[in-house]
Structure 1
């Protein structure tokens, strides 16, 4: 049984450290996610875990708890539409207004174990001829060091590659290393740079970033945190940049920095700057 005071402590800590806003009905999620940590440390229950977290020299176990609670499911080519929009619309239109020596930068925020950035890298490899004018840099970040370690290795189980990965891509870009494991090709792995970053912390030094994939992470934040993250993303994007959110996410009511793309679901444009050309004209140019 999860005591109310222990749940309250965990909710405060996770909000401060990661932005994760646990609602009161998520007690079951806490006990499920933290069970392996409790067992690894030879503890009895969440109450003993919280007691250890409150003690001296608890930074390591606190980090384990935050990582356990914030590591989310990731799939290859999750919702194919954003990847179609990237290749058919975003990259060609950005390349048309960039010099040949100006690489286009894509940032995958909350990249977890790497399926999303590697999906993008595969799409770039598949479309290399038509996108050859500009180089594309892929930066993938996550709060979890454990998730990033797995992502850098590029090794996945048969179950993981079987969820969303088209069979011809599996044959072309993965090597089977065991009965149930596959490792991604070096040429795909080398396209992605992984860094440990917290979305609650400043990331101005990342900019300018032309395309931001920030999918299925804002749903775990409260409204003020969502608005803050979105506004800081906007601050490092050029006026013709693109933001891609997850299916249940939106910028509506959170920030005026973005407007929804008129054709592509979950794709957002930077809102026109007040005092510039008319809003309608600006959207048409950027779209």
Structure 2
């Protein structure tokens, strides 16, 4: 069992950056059991043999997807969304007034609640964004959750988690027992499958990057690697948003926490300009 689990640990780390310690063997057992049963195997040993044979092209991806945590909900930890409206957007409206373009990347978007939450906020600020081009790229390692996110259809339980009733009624329509998001919001977001360990060269540069509650599952070398490359994809005066329990401190010298606002990080060279009081004005 230990050797089988070690093979799985190495696979997960190599393919996705996920790091499992030895005490998480039970997690592998429980999450991979449906796949084991689907393949008609007797246990993880049989699954590992199939992986090592190299004869099953999509099996590695299926194993990685099964082990990925996809916990999310609308407006999760409200602070980053308040900061987006009150701090980040006012700065970008001023700094990008010539180009009138803003690019946002939601990395590890899971089933889409985070980018849709941002799209709702942008819709509520539409009076300030007339003539602007706003692009939201939403990516995730898992093909299944990206496909689900692209559909924009949620259960009653999912829309009750974090979504105020006024926004539910404004931005969704009921479709049987499920809720379908407004096409206008959905069309603003481009969903695509993407591995954070792969090259970022084709993604371009972003004004805002949301990468929340995913690097907590990575080991230190992969955290450092991802943060360094995300810093390279972030505009010099851009904003990097992490989860409440996450930090760039000790992992990269390219970004530092914003001195005034929790969860926001900025390029080290932009630390003093980004902290000016004018950037903290509350949006009307």
**1:134, distance to aligned residue in structure 2 (A):** 2.9
Specify the alignment match of 2:17 in structure 1.
19
1:143/1:71 CA distance change after superposition, 3 Å: same
Partner residue, 1:232? 229
The answer (yes or no) to whether the contact 1:272–1:283 under 8 Å persists in 2 is no
Q: What is residue 57 of structure 1 aligned with on the other side? A: 55
**What is the alpha-carbon root mean square deviation over aligned residues?**
1.7
In structure 2, how many angstroms separate the alpha carbons of the residues matched to 1:43 and 1:196?
Answer: 29
Structure 1: runs of 5+ lacking an equivalent:
274-278
Matched, 1:142 2:140: yes
Question: Which residue of the partner structure matches residue 259 of structure 2?
Answer: 262
Aligned position for 2:282? none
Distance between the aligned counterparts of 2:155 and 2:225, measured in 1?
36
**Are the aligned partners of 2:36 and 2:43 in contact in 1 as well (CA < 8 Å)?**
yes
- Alpha-carbon distance in structure 1 between the residues aligned to 2:105 and 2:273: 27
Conserved in 1, the CA contact under 8 Å of 2:80 and 2:241? Answer: yes
Q: How many residue pairs were aligned? A: 279
Higher normalized contact order (CA 8 Å, seq sep 6+, divided by chain length): 2
Q: Tell me how far apart the structure 2 counterparts of residues 13 and 255 of structure 1 sit (CA, whole Å).
A: 25
Quote the offset at 1:133 in angstroms: 5.5
* Aligned counterpart for 1:36 among listed residues 34, 37, 43: 34
Q: Does 1:221 align with 2:218?
A: yes
Q: Which residue of 2 aligns with 1:205?
A: 202
TM-score (norm 1): 0.92
- Residue 147 of structure 1 aligns to a residue in which SS? helix
Question: Is 2:233 the counterpart of 1:242?
Answer: no
Corresponding residue number in structure 2 for 1:46:
44
Deviates more, 1:38-47 or 1:244-253: 38-47
CA contact (8 A) 1:157 1:182 kept: yes
Q: What is the SS of the residue equivalent to 1:77? A: coil
- SS of equivalent residue, structure 1 residue 21: coil
Checking the alignment, whether the CA contact within 8 Å between 1:148 and 1:195 is kept in structure 2 is yes
